[in-house]
Amino acid sequence: MKTKHSRKTFRVRQDEMLRRLRQEIVGGERKPGEFLPSEKDLADQFGLSNKIVREVLAELAAEGLIEKKPRIGSVVSHKSGSERIVLKLGHHGSTLDETALKSLLAEFETRYPHIRVQDVLLPAQGPAALKPYLEHGMIDALTLNDAEFRAFAESGDAGLFTPLEADPDGYPFLAEAFACGDKLYARPLTFSPTILCYNREHFRERGLWEPDSSWSWDDLLEAADKLTIPQVRAGFHFSATQRNRLAVFLLQHGAQAERDASGRLQMRGTPMMEAVRRYKEIVTGRMTPLMSEQDARFRVEELFAQGKLSMMLTTYYGLNALRQATFAYDIAPLPRLADPSTLLIAIGIAASRHSQHAEEARLLAEFLTSSAAQAIVRRDTLSLPALRSAAESYDGADGDGIACRPSRFGMYREIIPTYRYGGTLGLQEREWTWFLPEAMLYLSGLESEETFCDKVEAMSLS
């Protein structure tokens, strides 16, 4: 007796047939001139009626992927060299080094010679700046971080991306960052918690124990004072103007956006205000002032690489600046405040729903997050691949590509329970655009705490 399939299962099988045949053709598994199986064989393979199989084949023909030859069958279309598909992949500049993007794209083009990928440096972030690129086909796919995706979701623009399937080998907490409702709109590519990085030689020189998971911020600041050598090096520093660094202190204070009945953000007497106050105490009272962080010569990771800093807050992404380090360094969990948490940053890749090459864009997203591509990320960078099998393949040897991995590189697995996305704070992405500048004015002493609270609370109603 035949199994009667539900309508939902029937539709899934139809979509699966279309997706699989399309991918096999685009991916080169089925060569130009090759005949597809007969309609009857396809109907048996996918559990569909001949009528539905013909509808799927008609759709593939409309896309120019196959040609239907009456009384003979369906054949894969020929694509001449002049018809090579060009995909445009949008990204921010730092993504090149942090993901070995050039190597990934070269491997993709080797596997799919009928597709060329042009990487496009995006000039700005957020839906307002990127929507025209997506809606007018100026990019076919793009990389974006969890905060950028939240901005798209909050503005109702997640639908600009093509829904994708999650990889069961990926870390589950990464898919959460790029999901809206029950759909995944970007495949996780890499991730990193915020961590403490320190120069082991400086600690030995001063006879100090290295940081461990029991450290408080007072422990760190006490060690920083002992490590500092005037006119030679600073004991501790981080980029105080970065939103992600402020977010760490907000998270560790257990801060969450508190609002009144009208939705206005409340600051006075809240853990959020306490966290901003503590941040100011450390930044203005306990850290050595440095040159403008906008000057690339004074990027914190670069200063650390030069031996000018003993400790810094950074990420696994930031460790890529230390690939040529000639001194011993290591990493540790962040010191603790009220809540032992750290900010998690994830980068994903999304395919544009408006792309004229939608299936090829999807294929690119799936390749960049495949085991083969993730192994390249693992081999050529100090960033963390999103696939567990690639991220956890490191065996401690120096011969797997990057020879200067810190000895505690695998620490990220130990601190997974402390991971928090910035969205945990309850501040919407549009609110950060004015909250952060006001916080910097308060930190700089150009605004009193009273004025800071007044302005933040007033802006949250606008």
| 175 and 141, same domain (yes or no) | yes
Q: Within a domain: residue 59?
A: yes
* Same domain (yes/no): 453, 386: no
Asked whether residue 61 falls in the same domain as residue 169, the answer is no
> pTM for this one?
0.82
Does the pLDDT at position 404 exceed 70? yes
- Are 87 and 115 within 8 A, CB to CB? yes
Three-state secondary structure call for residue 109? helix
Examine the domain organization and report whether 96 and 145 are in the same domain.
yes
Give CA–CA dist 241/404, Å, rounded.
29
Same domain, 233 and 99: no
pLDDT at 426 over 60: yes
Q: From the centroid of its chain, how far is CA 129?
A: 19
Q: Which of 391, 423, 449 is the last residue of a domain?
A: 391
Q: Around 86, how many Cα atoms within 13 Å sit in the side-chain half-sphere?
A: 9
Q: State the Cα–Cα distance between residues 72 and 322, nearest whole angstrom.
A: 61
Tens of pLDDT, residue by residue over 42-70, are 999 988 998 999 999 988 887 778 888 88
Confidence of residue 292 (pLDDT cuts 50, 70, 90): very low
Claim to verify: residue 322 and residue 310 sit in the same structural domain:
yes
8 Å CB contact between 347 and 189: yes
Q: Residue 127 is part of a domain; what is its CATH number?
A: 3.40.190.10
Residue 1 lies in a domain: no
Q: Show the CA angle centred on residue 89, arms to residues 120 and 147, nearest 5°.
A: 95
CATH label of the domain that carries residue 17: 1.10.10.10
Instruction: Read off the pLDDT of each residue in 339-357 and give the average, rounded to a whole number.
Output: 94
Q: Are residues 378 and 302 in the same domain?
A: no
What total number of domains does the chain contain?
Answer: 3
Residue 259's DSSP bridge partners are 265
Same domain for 332 and 349, yes or no, is: no
Whether 229 and 297 share a structural domain: yes
Rounded Cα–Cα distance for residues 153 and 432 (Å) = 15
Dist CA 66 CA 386 (whole Å) = 35
Kindly report the three-state secondary structure assignment for every residue of 347-395: EEEEEECCCCCHHHHHHHHHHHCCHHHHHHHHHHCCCEECEHHHHCCCC
Mean of pLDDT values over 398-414: 78
Within-domain flag for 57: yes
Q: Is residue 396 part of a domain?
A: no
Whether 41 and 175 map to the same domain: the answer is no
Sequence length of the chain is 462
Q: Are residues 231 and 320 in the same domain?
A: yes
Q: How far is 240 from 280, CA to CA, in rounded Å?
A: 9
pLDDT digits (tens, 9 = 90+) for 165-218: 999 999 999 999 999 999 999 999 999 999 999 999 999 999 999 999 999 999
Bridge partners of residue 118, in order along the sequence: 88
Domain that holds residue 46: 7-76
Question: With contact defined as beta carbons under 8 Å apart, do 115 and 109 qualify?
Answer: yes
Q: To the nearest 10°, report the CA torsion of 394, 398, 403, 404.
A: 80
Assess if residue 381 is contained within a domain.
yes
Which of 27-31, 72-76, 344-348 holds the top average pLDDT?
A: 344-348
Angstrom distance (rounded) from CA 384 to CA 224:
28
- Tell me the pairing of strands 187-199 and 342-351: antiparallel
Q: Which residues pair with 32 in a beta bridge?
A: none
Answer with the one of 391, 418, 450 that is the final residue of a domain. 391
Give the model's confidence band at 285: pLDDT under 50 very low, under 70 low, under 90 confident, else very high: confident
Domain boundary among the residues 19, 53, 76 is at 76
Q: Is the dihedral of CA 103, 105, 108, 113 positive or negative?
A: negative
Average pLDDT over residues 12-19: 82
pLDDT confidence tier of residue 398, bands split at 50, 70 and 90: very low
Q: Which residues pair with 265 in a beta bridge?
A: 259
Integer angstrom CA distances of residue 445 from 213, 250, 276, 280? 33, 20, 13, 9
365 shares a domain with 283: no
Measured distance between the N- and C-terminal CA atoms of the chain, rounded to whole angstroms: 65
Q: Is the pLDDT of residue 329 over 90?
A: yes
- Structural element, H or E, at residue 332: strand 329-332
Residue 399 lies in a domain: no
Does 398 map to a domain?
no
**Model confidence band, residue 136 (pLDDT cutoffs 50, 70, 90):** confident
